[in-house]
Structure 1
């Protein structure tokens, strides 16, 4: 029998089956299969949602009659929540209320239990509550979420009078009146937003709970229904909240999210509301997207989703503001207070003085945001004026963009002492930013499909500006005090904001986004009459916005030559200040989990060293010998203070190369020397751990006789212990001892702060080195679920070492457990020496640099040998397990 014909009687007949549980399960599975077959991503799902609700109605009615039998008419079976709205997705929760006609159900407890247990047995997983009317009212009064679910209740079967009595009492003005219910729902929405960092524009959005999701529409519906007892959102038109065109936009956006949620349920066979990577490509294909113009299908699909969310976010903002005016505000606050000739304040929101303001004076489309900045008591723009802004966006045309007064207004917005971030976000939400900067329109809702960038490009850009603004505010000084101090040295903060606005504006075009962004930024500066100096600074920052992070993470910043080269590229302390702040703000706005104490100190060290080099003068660079002697002197002075004799110091240092004294700080040299001087040959290998170094990470130091596979065994052990290796320094002494040090953090990004953990790490690593193998055990270094969706094509490139001491190998590949150990084994087979490793992991992408030589410590220049190295590394990287 077709599930479409499954009536109440059909389900009752299933109880005559030898196995009624199986019969019901078969009916449910058949219904879901048919819904899946009939679902079309290009067509509305409302009919399918209603059909699913009717199907469950018939099923529950049959179960109700069967298990409650002679008392079925005394009580009520009620649908609540989404089921009450008849919006039932294939695997949605079934929220039901058993409304009792008496407070004490002892006499029929067994029947109710049988009814409930059967629903679980057939796989429905109902959200079921059993209450009398007084119980319902008490629960609703105590918890507005209970009250909210009762607002949407619908009788399935049973005692209709009992249901009507509850409905009447729930609708009573005394129970959660609008002036209480509305603020409660607003607070609930804000709390929900905060869970998603107040943005919907991330890599794996929640289409139900996230900002701009289905829950936003339900909030509008609940508040509206409570006050007006409205039966549908269409009545928003009747009561003057929306014109039909905006109502149609709202329903279109809702329909898109409904179709996406229906497809997600079908794809996962469960109640799944997250657009996680695992499903995005399949959904993109279902919805008809294909790769085109260098834009992957999945990026186009996610842009389609985000544009629907933008509409819902904006309409949610407007409708809740209008509802607040009607439900909460008093008449006095709704009286217009003139602000300028074009605008008044109504209940704290800016309103146009008349409806043709923008048509007569298009520049008011920018002026309104400047007024908001200059009047901090204003809460925002009134809904009717938001509507007019949207209606008049076409006025921001080529003539508008080249109008010098418009240009001055835009620059004034960027130069205000407050409200820059909030107004730019508002301008983006209303479409003004994309209209004024057509190149910005290209990045609106554009997703970058990798694990490094977790926000859309426009949202990331605005987060960068927000971070820069925070550097200027004393209340955020404790967050990054060094950045706050540097910001005080900035003469023109608007230069930073402009550079941030354009640093990623060419994303998605193909080619180098930095050079293309430089051109776009230059055009902007020319149009907005910025000085030649400011234009050069902005375009340089856009072109080189990745320079500082790449230098810090991929080069040895303890080397004066590296610092001098970087200082030459930067050229001035002014540029250094701007670049440092932009770099920190950019990294922190890309993915909050990528920022840690290690990167903080690494960038700070690079800034300080470069500042010193620039202050000294580029014509007077510090030479390596000066740095070596400086480090030696500082370390020796410290050791002598601690009672270490000159003889012991000399003996400990006699076989160490200049490289060692260059690449380690005086503090590290002193720590190593004390340990080595106190260590007997029989006690090797020596393994030490400092839980907190000056760079915010832990340092693990290994001192032992040089043997093959020390690097491979060490890295495999540390990886197996769940540690993230940030940096590795490998020194081999003239008498063949190795001093290896690894900068590490816990996989969570936190420092090691447990004494037992420290001991376990040192003990495990020492045992591995003695045994010359890694003990077999479960690797706790877990690759993220998302990482498998971002396979990185492996590339191996040989780079020239400016010092001509080593051969540099740049490896780009997918990050994985045991990667460094695998490379170490390849180097052992190749019989080459590893002198240094710079580890950079960006999301699922590993970008590692290895400084190698032959066994005579000479660079490898032979092309055949390089080809052999590449082949061997690729072979090891392709091995499983």
Structure 2
């Protein structure tokens, strides 16, 4: 007699659930109905949990309740499953009933064993209400509660008590505040290069929030119901459904590709995700770029429509009797702090009123935004913004007036971009909305970067922000017609993504704009020149030896006038600050400011003279030494050993500090190491004085690398009597300015290292970031003599990683090549370093090729 083995209940349920889910996901690969998938996943999850409920013999007087997204009857492929085990008030979870506790624990454990990512709570009805009263997150999760199994009367009692507790007005205010805080975490923009589909502005959470507050207020829980109630139009409901469907599909496919819960559109998965939608790479666009642009446009539409809907819900929940606050013009009124059109057909009757709305938004004190009625009218007036509208002289005048206003320019242009007005007025701007930048440098899309640069320029002009960049604020305060700078900011990157040099292509756009908007010849020339040269100043400051008078003379010859110099300096600072929070630092600020001041002196008639500059710095340094009570003439023993280059590469304050430290130790056989927080406010300044040897620079770089200190700048001097006097600026990502705490440790450890004679260890290749792995750049090495043939200039471009600088320094040390100076330029995830080298072997072509080959091998990711 044969006996058939019976699988334990959990194994049987698990197999059935896995089979059902696998079948749904396989069918989803070829189907396009994401709602059907999400509802079906919720149903098979219901079935699995019902089976577990029965298997654990849960009491008949309890209820299994789905909450959160699962409560809506929707589940993405790998979403968590939020459940509530609902108990009657006479049997709370802490009642001491041991048997009940065991059964609940067994049920939740079985749910996990089924392969569900469970988020569980066990509460009585009264406990649910108490928690909901004190926590809006709990209140929200219970809003869409759905009975899955168990006692129906108990669930109905819970729903009744919940509705009695729910205050729609308080709920609305709490959720809107929560939304604002969530948006702030994402810099109030959907245009991150790796957005969160669910949480970012314009994501699924914004759509859910609208339906939550509408449902709580009794206005409806679907777009159709909101349409029928008059909160949105039929066209808006259709747009919301379409974009919601796209975002849901995006999230579901992202889960399937990642094989786990994944809501962030990381670079690693963007290409596979794009290909699942049918996007294919072209000669100019990656498949991922095409998908992301589609996402950004969807998020932008959601943001725009959500703003309208939230205002309409608020108007229904908080009706006011005051009506119009004031009449602004025949076309516009103020209503509760918002700019509102006086009649619905204003834009159809007078299309130039579209731009007038944004001008009034800037000019009218007390206006904090555009009303839902105005936003809706702009949304519906898109077809009016055509070629004739763009060519209308009145519109051209209004647009320039928007840029000339003393206040509100940043907010107005951001709002114009959000409502698509900016892109419809400037068609080339429309082309870069949602345009990604894969240069490991920018963290925003092109349009958002441009608006960020313009915002930075505006902050230079606002007194409340003068403490941030005082020198920039001073220059901006003295700059005649600063609105010209805003025009240049709008066009400096507008030609990105077209192929070719975006600076050259942008010049043509800027020139056409100035001509069409009757901007004067002088200002037009400045705008076009700034667009052409907007990268030049940073390249000179960060890659060339600005202590060389010839470099300053050449840059001054390019700039020609002080007005151009100030304009380019302000745009450069704003541009670098608008790329990524990781790119700007005080050291780069100092390089740019030093270049500005030296160039302005030449433009003012001063002839750059190395000897006069040397004498000036020495006299200033001596004055500082006297304040430090250093004996008179004590500096001579050290200074007699230093060449002109040392004094030109260091400012007077650094010369004084180094002299005060070293004047008693000029012949010291022991290493002298001193460290202090950098006076410019960025990192730790480290001074090393030691008898020179070929591997010295590499040894120091190896120490900094091992201790997580990034070298921002290195200035290397070899004295006449064979000592190395090296000055480093280093930074640590975790110290955040508290460098005084580690200064003594660096002095002690580096002194010990330099005292011992050690072989240089093999460099360790640090891990590459996800961004670098996804968008690697081709490493480049360029080694050539300088114009005078005195030194060699080594330029290195590579993906950034830990150990990179040491790898370079070690190769140079092995060939006995000395480093006279180093400019370490980190641009997000990319480095562009420049070294000034000397070494007899470099005069040989064979040696040069060998060094370049070994360097390429060393920096290869």
Shorter-normalised TM-score: what interval?
over 0.9
Q: Which residue pairs with 1:314 in the alignment? A: 304
How far apart, CA to CA, are the structure 1 residues paired with 2:761 and 2:809?
Answer: 18
- Would you say the 8 A contact 1:631–1:661 is kept in 2? yes
Aligned position for 2:701: 715
1:806 pairs with one of 760, 783, 791: 791
Question: 2:187 aligned with 1:197, yes or no?
Answer: yes
1:632–1:433 distance in 2 versus 1, CA, 3 Å: same
Equivalence for 1:854: 839
Name which of structure 1's ranges 638-647 and 730-739 shifts more when overlaid on structure 2: 638-647
Superposed displacement of residue 380, structure 1: 2.4
Q: Matched residues in 2 for 1:735 and 1:626: separation? A: 25
In structure 2, the CA distance between the partners of 1:274 and 1:713, relative to structure 1 (3 Å rule), is same
Structure 1 segment 337-352 matched on structure 2, within 5 A: 337-352=326-341
Mapped to 2, the partners of 1:153 and 1:240 lie a distance apart of 26
In the other structure, the counterpart of 1:867 is 849
Q: What residue number does 1:786 align with?
A: 771
Tell me how far apart the structure 1 counterparts of residues 491 and 762 of structure 2 sit (CA, whole Å): 49
Shift of 1:310: 0.7
- The answer (yes or no) to whether the contact 2:669–2:691 under 8 Å persists in 1 is no
Which of 516, 533, 552 matches 1:563? 552
Question: In 1, Cα distance between the equivalents of 2:600 and 2:799?
Answer: 35
SS at match of 2:730: strand
| Secondary structure of 1:726's aligned partner | strand
- Verify the 8 A CA contact 1:752 1:758 in the aligned structure 2: no
Report the counterpart of residue 724 of structure 1 in structure 2: 710
2:223 partner SS: coil
Q: Deviations over 1:452-507 (max 9, x none)?
A: 11111111111111111122212222222222222111111211111111111000
Alignment correspondent of 1:768: 753
Distance in structure 2 (CA, Å) of the matches to 1:836 and 1:422: 44
Which residue number in structure 1 is paired with residue 81 of structure 2? 94
Q: Per-residue displacement from partner, 1:575-615 (whole Å, max 9, x unpaired)?
A: 22222221221112111222222223332222233233323
- Structure-2 separation of matches of 1:599 and 1:224: 50
* Count of residues in correspondence between the two structures: 853
Equivalent of 1:541, from 530, 543, 558? Answer: 530
Whether 1:751 aligns to 2:733 is no
CA distance in 2, matches of 1:647, 1:462: 55
1:612 matched to 2:573? no
> Is residue 2:573 matched to residue 1:584?
yes
The equivalent of 1:597 in structure 2 is: 586
User: Any idea what SS the aligned residue of 1:594 has?
Assistant: coil
Asked whether 1:452 is paired with 2:441, we answer: yes
2:811 is the alignment partner of 1:819: no
Instruction: Give the 3-state SS of the residue equivalent to 2:334 in structure 1.
Output: strand
Displacement of 1:630 after TM fit?
1.8
> How far apart are the structure 2 equivalents of 1:479 and 1:635?
28
Deviation at 1:319, TM superposition (A): 0.4
Residue 669 of structure 1 and its aligned partner are, at CA, apart by 2.1
Q: How does 1:306-705 map to 2 (within 5 A)?
A: 306-333=296-323, 335=324, 337-615=326-604, 617=605, 620-645=606-631, 648-679=634-665, 683-694=669-680, 696-705=682-691
| Partner Cα distance (1:819, 1:758) in 2 | 23
Q: Is the 8 A contact 1:723 1:781 kept in 2?
A: no
Task: Tell me by how many angstroms 1:862 deviates.
Answer: 5.8
Q: Which SS does the other structure have where 1:728 is aligned?
A: strand
Asked whether the 8 Å contact 1:95–1:127 carries over to 2, the reply is yes
The separation in 2 between residues aligned to 1:643 and 1:369, in whole angstroms, is 62
Residues 487-496 or 125-134, more deviating: 125-134
Q: Distance in 2 between matches of 1:852 and 1:457?
A: 37
CA distance in 2, matches of 1:78, 1:636: 80
Measure how far apart 1:783 and its partner are: 4.8
Give the match for residue 5 of structure 1.
none
Closer/same/farther in 2, CA of residues 818 and 780 from structure 1, 3 Å limit: closer
Deviation readout 1:331-358 (Å, 9 max, x if unpaired): 333x585322222334433333333322
Preserved CA contact (<8 Å) 1:489 1:577:
no
Alignment check: 8 A CA contact 2:65 2:145 kept: yes
Please list every run of 5 or more consecutive structure 1 residues that lacks an aligned counterpart in the other structure.
Answer: 1-15
Between the aligned partners of 1:394 and 1:609, the Cα distance in structure 2 is 52
For residue 832 of structure 1, the aligned residue among 814, 817, 821 is: 817
The one-character-per-residue Cα deviations of 1:675-715 (angstroms, maximum 9, x if unpaired) are 33333756522222122233633221221122121111111
Pairing 1:77-92 to 2, within 5 Å after superposition: 77-92=64-79
2:112 paired residue number:
120
Give the distance between the partners of 1:778 and 1:118, measured in 2 at CA. 50
Q: Kindly indicate whether the alpha-carbon contact (under 8 Å) linking 1:303 and 1:445 is maintained by their aligned counterparts in 2.
A: yes
Q: Relative to 1, partners in 2 of residues 1:861 and 1:434: Cα closer, same or farther, differing over 3 Å? A: farther
Aligned to 1:577, the other structure's residue is in SS state helix
Q: Return closer, same or farther for 1:778/1:37 CA change in 2, 3 Å cut-off.
A: farther
Task: Tell me the equivalent position of 1:254.
Answer: 244
Q: 1:736 to 1:419 in 2, by over 3 A?
A: same
Match of 1:158 among 150, 175, 186: 150
Residues in 2 aligned to 1:744 and 1:204: alpha-carbon distance in whole angstroms? 30
More off after superposition, 436-445 vs 257-266? 257-266
Match of 1:187 in 2: 177
Q: Does 1:74 align with 2:56?
A: no
How far does residue 51 in structure 1 lie from its aligned partner after superposition?
0.9
Separation (CA, whole Å) in 2 of partners of 1:74 and 1:137: 19
Assess if the C-alpha contact under 8 Å between 2:669 and 2:690 holds in 1.
no
The separation in 1 between residues aligned to 2:671 and 2:138, in whole angstroms, is: 64
Please show how residues 271-286 of structure 1 align to structure 2 within 5 Å.
Answer: 271-286=261-276
Match of 1:141 among 125, 133, 136: 133
Contact (CA 8 Å) 1:601, 1:696: kept in 2 or not?
no
Q: CA deviation at 1:872?
A: 2.8
In 1, Cα distance between equivalents of 2:761 and 2:15: 47
Q: Does the CA-based 8 Å contact 2:626-2:632 persist in structure 1?
A: yes
Partners of 2:761 and 2:428 lie apart in 1 by: 54
Q: What TM-score, normalized by structure 2, do the two folds share?
A: 0.94
Corresponding residue for 2:229? 239
- Per the TM alignment, residue 776 of structure 1 is displaced from its structure 2 partner at its CA by 7.1
* Greater shift in the superposed pair: 80-89 or 728-737: 728-737
State whether residues 676 and 739 of structure 2, in contact with CA within 8 Å, keep that contact through their aligned partners in structure 1.
no
Cα 1:731–1:603 shift into 2, 3 Å: same
Give CA-to-partner distance per residue, 1:750-796, whole Å, 9 cap, x none.
335243x2233233323333334479799897754433223110122
Stretch of structure 1 that moved more, 679-688 or 450-459 = 679-688
Could you say if the C-alpha distance between residues 41 and 251 of structure 1 is closer, same or farther in structure 2, counting changes exceeding 3 Å?
farther
Q: Distance in 2 between matches of 1:60 and 1:397?
A: 57
Distance 1:773 1:446, change over 3 A: farther
SS of corresponding position for 1:876: helix
Quick one: structure 1 residues 770 and 38, their matched pair in 2 at CA, closer, same or farther if it must change by over 3 Å?
farther
**Cα distance in 1 between the residues matched to 2:378 and 2:633:** 80
Q: Distance in 1 between matches of 2:11 and 2:258?
A: 22
Q: Evaluate the alpha carbon distance shift between residue 792 and residue 425 of structure 1 in structure 2; reply closer, same or farther with a 3 A threshold.
A: same
Contact 1:68/1:112, CA 8 A, preserved across alignment = no
Per the TM alignment, residue 35 of structure 1 is displaced from its structure 2 partner at its CA by 3.3
Query: 1:507 and 1:748 mapped to 2: Cα distance?
Result: 34
| 2:582 aligned counterpart, secondary structure | helix
SS in 2 for 1:738: strand
Q: Deviations over 1:130-161 (max 9, x none)?
A: 11212111211222221211110110011111
1:844 paired with 2:829, answer yes
- The answer to whether the Cα contact below 8 Å between 1:366 and 1:409 also exists between their aligned partners in 2 is yes
Unaligned ranges ≥5, structure 2: none
Q: In 2 relative to 1, CA 316–535 (structure 1 residues): closer, same or farther, beyond 3 Å?
A: same
Say whether the 8 Å CA contact 2:359–2:401 is kept in structure 1.
Answer: yes
